[in-house]
Each structure stands twice: as C-alpha cells, then as structure tokens.
A and B are shown apart, each in its own frame.
Chain A
C-alpha cells in the first residue's frame, strides 16, 4: 500500500480500529502519521457537535399531514375535504347530493316559465318595430313623389 491508499484507509473508517498493515506503515511514515493524528482530532471535534432534541409534536404533525394528503390540498375542494374527519365524509357527500338535486329542480322550473314570459315581453316589441318601418317607408315614398314634381306646379299650388 502506498501513502494515498493508507490515507484512504484512515479516512474510510471513522472511529474504528486501524488494520495492522496501516499501523505498520504509520510507524515508519511521518507524513501519514501526521494525517492519522489530524484525522483522529477532526473526528473528535465532529463528535462534539450534537444535534438538538427533536420537538415533541413531530409525529403528531406528520400523521396530521399524512391524513390531509389523502386528498389533494392543492385544490379548494381537496383542502376542504382534508379538514373533515373521515366519519363526516358520508354526510358531506349526502349534503352535496341534496344541493345538486335542489339546483336541478330549481333550474328546470326556471326553464318552464321562461318561454311564456319571453313571449309576452318580446312579441309587442317586434310588432311595434314593423309598424314604424312601414310608416318610414311610406314617408320616403311620399317625399320622393313630391321631389319629382316641376317647380312651377309646386309654386302655383302654393298660391292657390
């Protein structure tokens, strides 16, 4: 084993006993011996870095999230369903059916009355429009007849 292999061996086993081969090399190689000592110091320093306590509600929060994720929280309906307890879901479904049926019934009644109301409201307007158009056409015809007469005839009619 060369020095690079020895250093790799030293690094590969944090906190574990070195092999006899490495020990023999370290006894004769000052450079590798320095690396070995520095690496042992480094591991001691890293050992001193302890992670803090885990907060008490970690599992409870996780299970709450897992429960909610059964429905997609990214849609308003999914988020709403996620807030319900599983036992409340059948009631929510029944309520949704009742609301849907009520909407259908109201909509159907609305469609039945609409044509009758529309006939009463729309028909007079159409009749009125036709009458106005006929009158306007008559006026135009009369004016064009009037313009076609000679100027002298109009003046004599005006004097008489």
Chain B
C-alpha cells in the first residue's frame, strides 16, 4: 500500500469515526497503538507515563472526531497530538523532578536477567550499559531534536510529516536532524569503537 492509499484509508476510517462508527476507531487504535506508545516511551523514557499519555492521545482523537477534516495525513495529526502531550509532560516533570537523576528512573527500564552463564551475563551487562548510554544521549537532546529523531528513526516519517507534527518547516526539520545526528554520533561514537576493539 503506497502513502497516498494509506492516507486515503486512515482518513476514511477517521471520517467513519466522525459518523459514529466505533469499529473504525478500534481499527485505528489497533493500527497505531504500538507506534504511539513506543514513540512516547522513547520521548519520556517511562512506560507508565507513556501509556497514560497515549490514552490521552487516543482520547483526544476520539473527542475531536466531530471536527476532523482530512487536511493532513492522519499520522501527522496523530503524532502532532502525541508530541504536544509529550513535550508538556517533559516540561512538567522537569519542574517536578529537577533534582532527581536519570538513575532514579531505573525501575522503568528493562532489567537484564541473571544468567547462569557468566559470559552471557557479562554480555548482557555490556549491552545494558550501551543501551543506557543511548537512552541518556537521546534524553539529553533538545526536545524538538529528540522528537524529530524518534519520528524519523523509529516511525519512518519523512521531513514533511515530521514538520507537520512539530509545527515547523521541512527545512527546519532537516536542520534539526542534521544537528541531532551530529551530536549523537559524537556522544555514541565510542560505543562502536569499543565494539570493534572487542571483536
């Protein structure tokens, strides 16, 4: 299915929701539930907060059904709502938890399992440490750069769609991504070097 057909299909589903068809809403939820939650999880780096925000996203989609017009691609509209809520949440949490370090959020992140095999355990610990660095590097990006990278890398959205979600121009998105990836390459470059040295 190409992009135009996908636009048509999602927009049609949303227009049916507008007419009171709840099955179409269930289809949209089924299709985008994981994408929205995973995006929000990587934005706020907390599973419980991500799910709470995702609830609000779909609630807003449902509540806006009567005024919905297929002016933009459905995913652009959806991720615009998600980004708006994520940025608000990050600002609220920054105010509340400015003194806490990211280490305190460890409960939200997947734990590595203790394996019987010492070598496997070491590998898991190394992998976990690498992931920790990746998460930190993403978390330390400015908010818009972070949102742009997550939509670009994990949601496979193009510059125009990201621009629609962030409320800026496509050239601004290009610039945001250029700077963000440059920063990430600088911060995480040593991981690739250490991996190469180990192998």
Contact = CB atoms under 8 A, between A and B. Distances in A.
Interface stretch (B29-37, B86-94, B113-121): B29-37
A7 B175 CA distance: 12
B55 A62 contact: yes
A49 B42 contact: yes
Contacts of B6: none
Contact of A45 (B54, B159, B192): B192
A91 to B, nearest CB: 25
A69 B62 CA distance: 10
B153 interface: yes
Interface in A53-82: 54-55, 58-59, 61-62, 65-66, 69
Contacts of A54: 33-34, 37, 51
8 contacts: A11-B178, A14-B153, A14-B156, A41-B188, A41-B191, A41-B192, A44-B192, A62-B59
A49 B85 CA distance: 22
A35 interface: yes
B177 A11 contact: yes
The majority secondary structure among interface residues of chain A is helix
Contacts of B138: 49
Nearest to A44: B192
B55 to A, nearest CB: 5
Given A52-B41, A62-B58, A42 B135 contact: no
A53 to B, nearest CB: 9
B62 A66 contact: yes
B189 interface: yes
A69 B181 contact: no
Contacts of A55: 47, 51
B131 interface: yes
A41 B189 contact: yes
B9 interface: no
A35 to B, nearest CB: 7
B134 A48 contact: yes
Contacts of B34: 51, 54
Contacts of A48: 127, 130-131, 134
A46 B38 CA distance: 13
A146 to B, nearest CB: 85
B51 A58 contact: yes
A45 B110 contact: no
Contacts of A66: 59, 62
Contacts of A59: 29, 33
Contact of A49 (B37, B47, B135): B135
Interface in A130-147: none
A33 interface: no
Contacts of A39: 181, 185
A6 B62 CA distance: 42
Contacts of A41: 188-189, 191-192
A45 B181 contact: no
